[in-house]
Structure 1
Amino acid sequence: MLSARQDIIAWNPLAAALMTDFAAMAPQDRNVVRWLFTGPDIERYGADEHVTQFARGLVADLRAAFGRYPGDAGIAGLVAEVADRSALFARLWDEGEVGVRRGSRKRMRHPVVGELDMHCDVLYVPERDQRVVLYTTTPGTPSHEAMKLLRVVGTQDLGIR
């Protein structure tokens, strides 16, 4: 579950196994914008069309939140911090796109279970201005089998990179 500012405020064990152990992160680091644009992998991912599309949608969604909460120091501070640290974020922010993320296809490479092709749906809880993000795979596909394995493996460090 995400806040309007894209803070990760709740997750289940499979989300932690898929992405990272959020409980092991400092609360201020549990922010999708900060994580994507200032993480060590952004340069590697920057050329990926799917990541660029996700990044563009994420910035447009954050800009929509900024419009709903123009005096919010948390959003303004996040924008200033990430724009200072990421040329890609600064460029996308300057483009001025406003939008609401609804869903997309996602491809991920997990270090234990390998390639995953998933559908990502974003469901809105308007009275709380929060988002529930659902990742699903198509039954019978290799991605579905990989997710079933990931449910068993969880966040164990198997020494595979």
Structure 2
Amino acid sequence: MARQELARFLRERRDEMGPADVGLPAGPRRRTPGLRREEVARLAHMSVDYYTRLEQARGPHPSPRILEALTEALRLSPAERTHLFRLAEASPTPPAGPVRQVRPYVVNLLRRIPEAAAVVTDASYDVIDFNPLADALLGDLRQEPNLARRRFLGLNGYESSSAEEFGHIAVARLRAAADRYPRDEPIARLLAELRASSTEFTEIWNTNPVRAPGHRTKTITHPQLGPLRLNCDVLAIPDDDQQVVFITADPGSPTARALRHLTAKV
């Protein structure tokens, strides 16, 4: 039964995807929707015959290496990856690393909220996308995109009333990322740098903090705008282990006017 369920899952997932989803040219007009078997096989670096037997429930139990290749080829989310391993009656191996690409609908969301600063962070607190207001408000995010480095190495460029609280939130998230992605070299390098450069980071790490992001209000002192009272709200994207952070001001407040002025300049 599990073999048939695995075959059905692969067929349904292949039918849901198109060439553009995996970076392939559309080519001649297709008679049926979805990717072709030979396209999936090529993306997964396996023979067409082997992949066809998997879809027809005639193949052997795929190895974890094969399942990882199918995860990549079919662009499976973490939840879908776990489901694939379960159907194959295999134990999921730790993911190689966090998702560091932003889905198009999230990118569009950032652009549709002009009076809110918005950033997308991955599991290591790297800012992987942002809107112009966020860049103007938080400083040059391209030069230093990691929020944990900015916090613990003094790279923010402004003071914040919630710096201590955010330090605990950042460490809690980084500890979780280290557990989920033990083979990810960028995360390992980040943690080594923070331990070597910040006594505060090491002290908080050793307390094993349990903190979750949510709605918070904080005051930052911006180099040009002065004190700003900001609301921070977090939208989780669990499929990609990412977060969207929206930074707004109370309507009609001096901070709202300052953000509107900043928006006009970007």
TM-score (norm 2): 0.51
- Structure 1's 123 and 40: CA in aligned 2 closer, same or farther, altered over 3 A? closer
Alpha-carbon contact 2:161-2:219 (below 8 Å) kept: no
Distance 1:61 1:74 in 2: 15
Larger relative contact order (CA 8 Å, sep ≥ 6): 1
Q: Is this contact kept in 2: 1:64–1:99, CA < 8 A?
A: no
2:229 aligns to what SS in structure 1?
A: strand
Which residue of 2 is the match for residue 59 of structure 1? 171
**Aligned partner of residue 10 in structure 1, secondary structure:** strand
Radius of gyration: which is bigger? 2
Task: Note the C-alpha offset of 1:41.
Answer: 6.3
How many residue pairs get matched?
147
Amino acid at match of 1:8: V
Please name the residue that 2:194 is paired with. Answer: 82
Q: 1:39 maps to which residue?
A: 154
Supply the distance in 2 between the matched residues of 1:119 and 1:53 (Cα, whole angstroms): 14
Q: Give, in whole Å, the separation in 2 of the partners of 1:65 and 1:139.
A: 36
- Which residue in the other structure is 1:158 paired with? none
Deviation at 1:112, TM superposition (A): 2.1
Indicate which of 159, 173, 180 corresponds to 1:68: 180
Flag structure 1 segments of 5+ consecutive residues without an equivalent.
155-161
Change (3 A) 1:41 1:124: closer
Q: Which range is displaced more, 94-103 or 143-152? A: 94-103
2:231 pairs with 1:108: no
Q: 1:1-161 maps to which residues of 2 (within 5 A)?
A: 1-23=120-142, 25=143, 29-39=144-154, 50-154=162-266
Contact kept in structure 2, 1:122 and 1:132, CA below 8 Å = yes
- Could you tell me the TM-score, scaled by structure 1's length? 0.82
Question: Partner letter of residue 115 of structure 1?
Answer: P
Q: 1:64 to 1:90 in 2, by over 3 A?
A: same
Secondary structure at the residue paired with 2:239?
coil
By how many angstroms is 1:72 displaced? 2.3
Rounded Cα–Cα distance in structure 2 between residues aligned with 1:40 and 1:18: 14
Change in 2 beyond 3 A, CA 1:86/1:18: same
Residue 63 to residue 33, structure 1, CA distance change in 2 (3 Å) = same
Q: Distance in 1 between matches of 2:210 and 2:227?
A: 31
Consecutive unaligned residues of structure 2, counting only runs of 5 or more, are 1-119
C-alpha root-mean-square deviation of aligned residues, in Å? Answer: 2.0
